[in-house]
Amino acid sequence: MRSSYTESKTAFHWTVHPIIPLLRELGIGLVPFAPLGRGFLTGAVKRAEQYPETDFRRNDPRYQGANFDANMEAAAAVRDIAARKGGTPAQIALAWLLHKGPDIVPIPGTKRRRYLEENVGAIDVPLSAEEMAQLDAALPPEKVAGPRYNAKQMAMVDR
């Protein structure tokens, strides 16, 4: 099952969705949407105004003003753990999801082979119970700032 819940409700902490226990009971796996939080969990995002006019992030409310600042602050735990472990923020974010269970299969999108190789490295990243708790505490649904899309884009959702 592919989860759009990630995108529409939480962006970072999709595992709180009440459907997870049912999926597990039925033996159904989950492929979370946007497992790197639209780039926020990679540590490589910029403010909306720094993207070209043609880039969707330019008009994404989560990349604008105080929303951007709050989302970067929430994702700081990922960057901090990456720095301590010598990995990348993307590897830590994907490892966090992989540690949620064998039925959770994050498939991040990428345009570059080097990022594909980097992302595959998440499989070998161990996370302690303390690190998992730190990530869970840093990335709850209420920390995601800004709506999923701008008003024009939201009008096209669930049509």
Q: What is the DSSP string of 48-114?
A: GGGS-TTSGGGG-GGGSHHHHHHHHHHTHHHHHHHHHHTS-HHHHHHHHHHTT-TTB------S-HH
Task: Report the C-alpha gap between 64 and 29 in whole angstroms.
Answer: 34
Q: What is the pTM of this model?
A: 0.85
Position 7 scores a pLDDT of 44
Whether the CB-CB separation of 109 and 39 falls below 8 Å is answered with no
3-state secondary structure of 2: strand
Instruction: Output the pLDDT for position 36.
Output: 94
CA-closest candidate to residue 104, choices 154, 158, 48, 32: 32
Q: Which residues pair with 30 in a beta bridge?
A: 104
Write down the pLDDT at residue 143: 86
CB atoms within 10 A of CB 44: 12
Helix axes 129-138, 76-85, angle to 10 degrees: 150
pLDDT along the chain (159 residues), means of 10: 45 63 93 90 94 92 95 95 96 96 92 94 97 94 85 79
Helix (H, G, I), strand (E, B) or coil at 144: coil
The confidence score (pLDDT) of residue 33 equals: 85
Beta bridge partners of 3: 32
